[in-house]
Structures are given as structure tokens and as C-alpha cells.
Amino acid sequence: MSRTADEDPTPGAASQTPGDPATADETPRGISRRGLLGLFGAGAAGVAVGGGAGAAIASSAAASSGVDSTRVYPFAGEHQAGIVTPAQDRLHFAAFDMASGATRDDLISLLQDWSAAAARMTRGAEIGDTGAVGGSEFAPPEDTGEALDLPAAGLTITIGFGPTLFTDASGIDRFGIASAKPAELEPLPRFAGDALEPGATGGDLCIQACADDPQVAVHAVRNLSRIAFGRASLRWSQLGFGRTSSTSTSQVTARNLFGFKDGTANLKAEETQAIDDGVWVQAGDGSAWLTGGSYLVVRRVRMIIETWDRSQLGEQERVIGRSKGAGAPLSGGTEFTPIDLAATGAAGQPLIDKGAHVRLAHPDVNGGIRLLRRGYNYVDGNDQLGRLNAGLFFMSYQRSPQQFITVQKNLARDNLNEYIKHVGSALFAIPPGASEGGWVGETLFA
Amino acid sequence: MSRTADEDPTPGAASQTPGDPATADETPRGISRRGLLGLFGAGAAGVAVGGGAGAAIASSAAASSGVDSTRVYPFAGEHQAGIVTPAQDRLHFAAFDMASGATRDDLISLLQDWSAAAARMTRGAEIGDTGAVGGSEFAPPEDTGEALDLPAAGLTITIGFGPTLFTDASGIDRFGIASAKPAELEPLPRFAGDALEPGATGGDLCIQACADDPQVAVHAVRNLSRIAFGRASLRWSQLGFGRTSSTSTSQVTARNLFGFKDGTANLKAEETQAIDDGVWVQAGDGSAWLTGGSYLVVRRVRMIIETWDRSQLGEQERVIGRSKGAGAPLSGGTEFTPIDLAATGAAGQPLIDKGAHVRLAHPDVNGGIRLLRRGYNYVDGNDQLGRLNAGLFFMSYQRSPQQFITVQKNLARDNLNEYIKHVGSALFAIPPGASEGGWVGETLFA
């Protein structure tokens, strides 16, 4: 076999790679192949292509994963990563159902295997002892390999438990955990205008993989899905290509597919007290095993963009309650000026329309409730009428599902409803983070 | 209205933006709003968020579009951009059908409108005189706005004509161009193993939008689709998230979803003679209007990745004919070592299997034929069995469709066929580039 080329990286090339090599390399099971390739691969290729092209090659390699592609977020911690982590640019989300006949031990071993794999992938390491190319030629590789040359790319993997994991549709306690089911972990109520499709709704388990490089996020879901084989299988999944929510004050506000800035007033990681109050489940909230965790609501919100695109600019701004360009509230100021819901114009009319999205979602009309949103734009081809199947894959984290439910009920009067349709929905309990070497869900089974 | 915030950019912030402002701003119809926002938007937001965060914000803004997000490729030129242009990382491809009853004038005006819009978007400018936020509040904006703050991101827009544009399924010459139909522009023959779906096959027209930022590519297809309203509508479309082919020696070889390096032996833009011989239609090839153009083959190749993932490493490498790690041919050497089809092992067996993909696609067994490949990885959710709907969106440019047909026929014996399924297919004639201020297709209607 001619795999010797893999095993002779050029040490000198390491200086081309920013970041801390030690972070990516210190795996509990030894130096990973992907770690080596990640550090040296681009440089080695540069030598092969010819001298002088090194800089261009490094830049081209980085282009597939964005500026901060060498960022590494630890998998273990008090809370799972991927919640208050500054929202990465790309998403692959997957909902799973446990296999028919799967046992409690299957579930526990799956969570252990997922956690071990996630800890490795989020470091930029390959899965398993031998990865994609280090094993026997007579065995399937442990890692599928499409992320071999790519850095960690800020990957986070966040694992959640749906209501049906605790009691299935027939009320059966398949895994002996029904008694630990949080009282609030119930399927979301039906909201006005819901047009939910079974193929985008529910799930026993979920994986949220976020990264700066879509190939890294896809690699994560694919390999976790592969690991689940025989124990759980994909129920539905969604790729998101552009984050729409800032979760940190260090981030620019991005635009959704209506062309408006989204997430300006989002909860930000830097607001630590508000995050404690609004995102993390606290001791005494009910289920002790969930302390330090959260609840995740996901909603696939199809946008009727052809209708939107034919509406007047003034109508679009009235619907949202902000200017389209700067994202400033129509009550005046600039993007980050607080919204003045009481402001009126010369004729006494409210500057923020009674049905404006920013009014109905505002904490002042929702008992002070704020959510940590983490949404992504999506486009999934088009329908048979030639309309893009596009919209917002809404995700929000909150201490209690009641926060989302309260706001969503209020949005029944939202001007936006003429232009959107909720076609997918799910709720998951998000356990606290794994301890170093531990696994997500350990507190539930302890 | 409170849109004044849009109109007061902070000039000092321009220094944070790399690239040449003049390139993006010199639009024939005056300074574009998007140009202004692109130059000043991030800086203005930085001021609002607070001092000191400028660098992080700039980096975060750039992260959504990769390192080279300020690259600009001109729309006009001898050849259309997006063919030998170094393959960008993201794709949105769309096939359109002309509307029932559309006239020759409709087709001409559509191509003119598309070209004008494409020339603006590829510069990073908004569509139209007033863009997304500069028009009347009583009119729909000319641009949908979701790319308002984003740079050109290396966007290229490539326009093509399918066989049915010249003569439809009933043999009717709807647009008075049947006599100009190139003899070679006929639907591809059926290949062994084809399992084509109508929803991913054919089309009167196509748009290939490639960019370093998916939001920029999606914005382009969406707005071109909107411009087509009443004249043409989307037939099918495809997002690709990771390029699999290098089209320039300055690019690192990327990996497909089988985990292998793809495109190592691809035609590269730097091989100018080979590009002339193999990609550009030459004077005397048949249809004079197509001189300087090309033919584009697109194939949606579903990968049966669950089966692949369970195959042995040795089997995977035998199927491909290269090592998985370094991508070196199994006949020896490193990635860019020429493949030795005659090499044998100690027992006399061929080192490159008789059915290896690299053997059957090799120029030596295809009369010297080479294609310029420009493929992308895709993942479109999953099927009802929980298998990822994933694969390769293959695209190749060639001087004659016969080049692709010859190679594809040879691939009937490809080991890979056990793991892939061709589910979509289309062929397009790609006109030469537009002259400055001209439009794509002008040579056909002259």
C-alpha cells in the first residue's frame, strides 16, 4: 500500500497554522491522525504543488472554513457548548428516534459513544483509535474521513432529549426514565397557523452541530448517525447556511432571508445574570439532573418569500418594526437604540405598529421574557411551483419552555404571519455539560 | 420614517475594510447602497456596540464569507466567469423553464435583465437603481436585501441554455432559435445505472452561482428567479456546501463525502493550452455563436454513504485507486505523482484495480480526454429510512458533450457504481462571456 505519504508530514510547515497545536493534539488515546493532517496537511500539499504557492494554498484551505477555523471549543464543561457559544456560521441539526427494541443499556452506551466521539471531533481529532486511514485495510475505517484535512472550525456538538425519550407515544417507559421526566418537557401546544409536517417534527434525541465550516458540521452528524446504527436512526435533519442570531456582543448582526437584521435584541452571552435567569435550569427548578442544562425549541419556519418580495418597503418595515437598512427601530435611533413602544408620529399613530414583530416579541409585552435565539437561514431546493423552499430554522434556548410558549402565543397577532408558515417543531431538554471524560446524560442515569 | 441611520455611515470606518472600494462602487448607475453598507456597515455597528470591539467584529463579519470574501470577478469577458475561476466554496445552482406562452422578446429581455443584475451582484452591488432600501416606501424594493452588508465574496454567475430552449419536448421552436441549435446540444444518452428523477433533470436555462459565502450565492439565485417572474420559473435547484474540485493549481485538493481527495488530476486553469483544447468551443466547432463558450454537464450523484461507511478501508482504496489519506495513487508516490496504470505488485496483480475509478476516468483509457470538473458536496436532509440524502453534485465543463459521454460510458464498469446512483442530469450550452455592458446570449440573437 502506498499510504506512506500520510506518515511523513513536513514539520516545518506547522508554522503556517495559527492556533495552539497542543489543544488539538492532546487526545486521551494518543495523537490523532487528523490532528497531524490538520497541522501539516496544507503545508505538505504546498510542497507537492511547487514552491512559492504556500501562502495562496494556506489561504485557500482556510477559505472553506472561515477566518476563525482554528477555534476550538471544549466539549466538557458545566454547560454544553453550542448554546452561549458565539453562533457559528453553519449548522447541521439532526433529530433521532431510538430503534425499536432498543434497551436502556443501548441508550446509555449510545450517549457514552456520542460523547466520546463529540469530545474528539470538537478538538479537530478523528473518531476512534485509528480514524479514517490508520486502521487495518481489512476493517471499515472508524472515521469517514471527509474532514481529514480540516481544523476544528469551532465545532460544537449539543445533545438533547425529546419528550418521547421518557414516555413514547403509547405512554410506555422504554428506558426506565419516565419518573425523571421534567414536568415541562411536554410537546409544545398547537399555535395559531401551525402547519407542522411529521417529517420535520419531534424526535427522541437531537444533535445540534454548529461550525464555521459546513463540511465539519456535516461530518459530525454523519459520524454520530453512523455510531447510532442499530440503536437510533435519523428522523429528520436540517442544514442551515447562515446564522441569523448573534449570541455575543462580539458579533455583527446578520440578516435573515426577509433581508432584515435579526437578533439585535437577542440575549447575549456577556449578559451573565440574564443568561442565568433565562437560559440555564437552576437548582430547585424541578428536575435535579437537568440543573445547568436548558430547553431547546426548534421551529422550521418556511418563508413565503415570493409574496414578501412583492410587498412594499414601507409594509415590510411596518411588519417588522425596524428599518430594513440599518435595522433601527421605527421609533427612532440606530440599531441598538432601545425600542420605544409608546412613540407616536405627528398624526398620533404608533411608530411601532400594533402588530409589528418587534412589539409582540418585546420583553415589555411578555412579562420581561427573553430567549436566547440561535437561528439559521435555510434553502432546501424549491417546490413544484418553482418557489424556493426557504426560511428560518429557528432555535431558542430557555430555562423553561414556558418562555417560548408565552412569546409564541403573543405572536398569533404578528403581522409577519402573512409571510411565514411554521412547518416543523420540536422541544428537547438539554442536559448539563459532561464532566471531563464523562458523558452527556450521566446525571439522568446516575 | 427612521431610515436616517442608513444614510450616515462613518467614513473613518472604511479603513477596516480590505479590498479596493472603487471596484465595488463604480456602478454604471451610480453608487450602490450595498456598496456603501458593505464599506461602512461593520464599522458603524462597531461604534454602536462599543469601543474596542472593532477587530473582533470585523473578523466575525468576515467569518460568514471566508478569507477571500472581498474578491471580485468581473462578469464581462471573453468567457463567462465561474468556469476556470478558482472554484469557490459554495454553490447555488438553478435550472429554469421558460413560462408557457413566453415569447422571443421575453427570452431576450430576460437574458438582458439577468446579465445586468449579474454584473451588479458580482461587483457586490445591489440590484437596480435603488436596491433594497433606497427606493420609495410605497414600492417593493428592487433587491431583497439579505446580502446588504456582505461583500462580493467572489461571486460568479454563469448562464446556460438547455436543449429544450431551442426545440421543446414537442419539437416546437418557441423562440425562433431552432436553426441555431448546436448539433451536439442533445439530451445526454441513458447511462448504465441511471435512476434519474424528473425533479432534478433538464431545464431550458441554468444559473450557476458560486461564491465564498452561501448567503451571497443564495441571494443571487433568489433575485434572478424573482427577475424571471412571468417569463421563466425555477424547475429545480441545488445547494452545494463544499467544493470537491480544484480548478487552479493554487487550490488545495478537497475531499468528497467518501472521504477521498477529489479533483487531483483535474484540468487546471493554469494549463491554458489544455483549457483551449478541452473546455472552450473554438471557431469552426460548429455553432459560431458559441465560440468562446463551453458545454456544462451536471449530474446529481447520490452516494450510498451508509454502505460505503461499512466497507473496508482496503476496499475503499481499491474502488478509487488512491490512498484515502494522502490521495496518492496506489501505483505509488504522493498525491500528484502520475498514475501508473501498468504497475503490478509482487504477485503480478495490477496495483490500480481493473475497475478502479481513477483507471476508468484516466485520459489514457479515454483517448486523452480530460474534463474541467467543478463539483460540490451536498446534503439534502435524509430519506424516510434515516439515510442522509447526500452526495456529489457533479459539474463538468467541456468543449464537446462527447468528452463527458465517452468517459461516462467507460465508467459503466466503475467499482464505484456499487456505492452511487445518478439521480439528476442536465446538459447546457454555455455562451461566451458578455461584452462590457452587453448580455449573455447576445451572439445567439445577433
Cα distance from B361 to chain A (closest Cα, Å)? Answer: 20
Query: Using a CB-CB distance cutoff of 8 angstroms, which residues of chain B are in contact with residue A68?
Result: 59, 63
* Burial profile A174-195: b = 16 or more Cβ within 10 angstroms, e = fewer: bbebeebbbebbeebeeeeebe
Question: Helix (H, G, I), strand (E, B), or coil: what is residue A322?
Answer: strand
Q: What is the 3-state secondary structure (H, E, C) of A38-96?
A: HHHHHHHHHHHHCCCCHHHHHHHHHHCCCCCCCCCCCCCCCCCCCCCCCCCCEEEEEEE
Number of CB pairs < 8 Å for A and B? 330
Share of chain A above pLDDT 70, in %: 85
Residue B64 to residue A242, Cβ atoms within 8 A: yes
Digit-coded pLDDT (tens) for B130-181: 999 999 999 999 999 999 999 999 999 999 999 999 999 899 999 999 999 9
| CA A280/CA A400 separation, integer angstroms | 9
| CA A200/CA A190 separation, integer angstroms | 15
Written as one letter, the residue type at A275 is I
Cα distance from B158 to chain A (closest Cα, Å)? Answer: 19
Digit-coded pLDDT (tens) for B241-283: 999 989 999 999 999 999 999 888 899 999 999 999 999 999 9
C-alpha cell recorded at residue A221: 452528524
Q: Which of A158, A405, A421, A446 is nearest to A287 (CA)?
A: A446
Partnered with residue A395 across adjacent β-strands are A298
pLDDT of A93 higher than 60: yes
pLDDT at A265: 85
Query: Using a CB-CB distance cutoff of 8 angstroms, which residues of chain B are in contact with residue A317?
Result: 1, 137
C-alpha cell recorded at residue A48: 507537492
Cα distance from B414 to chain A (closest Cα, Å)? Answer: 20
Residue A132 to residue B325, Cβ atoms within 8 A: yes
Residue B241 to residue A255, Cβ atoms within 8 A: no
pLDDT at A262: 87
DSSP class of residue A213? S
Digit-coded pLDDT (tens) for B79-97: 999 999 999 999 999 999 9
In the block, cell 460568479 appears at B156
pLDDT of B443 higher than 50: yes
Tell me the average pLDDT across A82-93: 97
Average pLDDT of chain B, as a whole number: 86
- Going by C-beta distance under 8 Å and a sequence separation of 6 or more, which residues neighbour residue A441? A108, A111, A115, A159, A161, A431
Report CA dihedral (B135, B136, B138, B142) to the nearest 10 degrees: -10
Query: Using a CB-CB distance cutoff of 8 angstroms, which residues of chain A are in contact with residue B252?
Result: 42, 45, 57, 60-61, 149
Tell me the average pLDDT across A4-17: 32
pLDDT at B27: 33
Residue A86 to residue B60, Cβ atoms within 8 A: yes
In the block, cell 432601545 appears at A338
Query: Other C-beta atoms within 10 Å of A148: how many?
Result: 27
Residue from the list B89, B215, B386 with its beta carbon closest to the beta carbon of A242: B215
C-alpha cell recorded at residue A280: 440555564
Share of chain A above pLDDT 90, in %: 80
Residue A351 to residue B135, Cβ atoms within 8 A: no
Digit-coded pLDDT (tens) for A390-417: 999 999 999 999 999 999 999 999 999 9
Q: What's the full length of chain B, in residues?
A: 446
In the block, cell 467518501 appears at B258
Task: Give the DSSP H or E segment for B96.
Answer: strand B90-98
pLDDT at B17: 31
pLDDT at A216: 97
Choose, out of A243, A255, A261, A270, the residue to mutate when testing the contact with B (most B CBs < 10 Å): A255
Cα distance from B435 to chain A (closest Cα, Å)? Answer: 30
Cα distance from A337 to chain B (closest Cα, Å)? Answer: 9
C-alpha cell recorded at residue B260: 477521498
Q: Which of A363, A438, A348 is nearest to A407 (CA)?
A: A363
Residue A334 to residue B379, Cβ atoms within 8 A: no
pLDDT at B58: 28
Residue from the list A3, A64, A255 with its beta carbon closest to the beta carbon of B145: A255
β strands within B304-387, DSSP E: 372-373, 376-382
Residue A382 to residue B236, Cβ atoms within 8 A: yes
Tell me the average pLDDT across A334-351: 96
Highest mean pLDDT among A62-76, A154-168, A238-252: A154-168
In the block, cell 450557476 appears at B208
Query: Using a CB-CB distance cutoff of 8 angstroms, which residues of chain B are in contact with residue A236?
Result: 381-382
pLDDT at B115: 98
Cα distance from A372 to chain B (closest Cα, Å)? Answer: 18
Give the residue with greater pLDDT, A8 vs A76.
A76
Question: Helix (H, G, I), strand (E, B), or coil: what is residue A35?
Answer: helix
Query: Using a CB-CB distance cutoff of 8 angstroms, which residues of chain B are in contact with residue A215?
Result: 241-242, 255, 377
Written as one letter, the residue type at A321 is G
The pair phi, psi for residue A277, each rounded to 5°, is -70, -35
| CA B197/CA B300 separation, integer angstroms | 10
| CA B254/CA A92 separation, integer angstroms | 20
Question: Which residue of B lies nearest to A238 if distances are taken between CA atoms?
Answer: B381
Question: Which residue of A lies nearest to B53 if distances are taken between CA atoms?
Answer: A250
Residue B242 to residue A388, Cβ atoms within 8 A: no
pLDDT at A13: 32
pLDDT at A263: 82
Residue from the list B2, B146, B258 with its beta carbon closest to the beta carbon of A256: B146
pLDDT at A68: 56
Residue B336 to residue A48, Cβ atoms within 8 A: yes
Give the residue with greater pLDDT, A44 vs B413.
B413
pLDDT of B23 higher than 50: no
Residue from the list A33, A132, A381 with its beta carbon closest to the beta carbon of B259: A132
Cα distance from A138 to chain B (closest Cα, Å)? Answer: 5
Query: Using a CB-CB distance cutoff of 8 angstroms, which residues of chain B are in contact with residue A229?
Result: 306
Q: Which of A32, A233, A234, A243 is nearest to A122 (CA)?
A: A32
pLDDT at B193: 87
Tell me the average pLDDT across A298-305: 97
Tell me the average pLDDT across A166-184: 97
| CA A250/CA A270 separation, integer angstroms | 9
Query: Other C-beta atoms within 10 Å of A54: how many?
Result: 17
- Going by C-beta distance under 8 Å and a sequence separation of 6 or more, which residues neighbour residue A355? A319, A413, A414, A415
Asked if residue A270 lies in contact with residue A281, where contact means CB atoms within 8 angstroms, the answer is no
Question: Which residue of A lies nearest to B226 if distances are taken between CA atoms?
Answer: A306
Conformational region of residue B27, where left means phi above 0, alpha means psi within -120 to 50, and beta covers everything else: beta
Question: Which residue of A lies nearest to B133 if distances are taken between CA atoms?
Answer: A325
pLDDT at B68: 56
| pTM for the model | 0.87
Query: Other C-beta atoms within 10 Å of B105: how many?
Result: 10
Residue from the list A66, A149, A237 with its beta carbon closest to the beta carbon of B381: A237
Conformational region of residue B72, where left means phi above 0, alpha means psi within -120 to 50, and beta covers everything else: beta
Digit-coded pLDDT (tens) for B203-244: 999 999 999 999 999 999 999 999 999 999 999 999 999 999
Residue A333 to residue B3, Cβ atoms within 8 A: no
The pair phi, psi for residue A169, each rounded to 5°, is -60, -25
Side-chain half-sphere CA neighbours of B416 within 13 A: 26
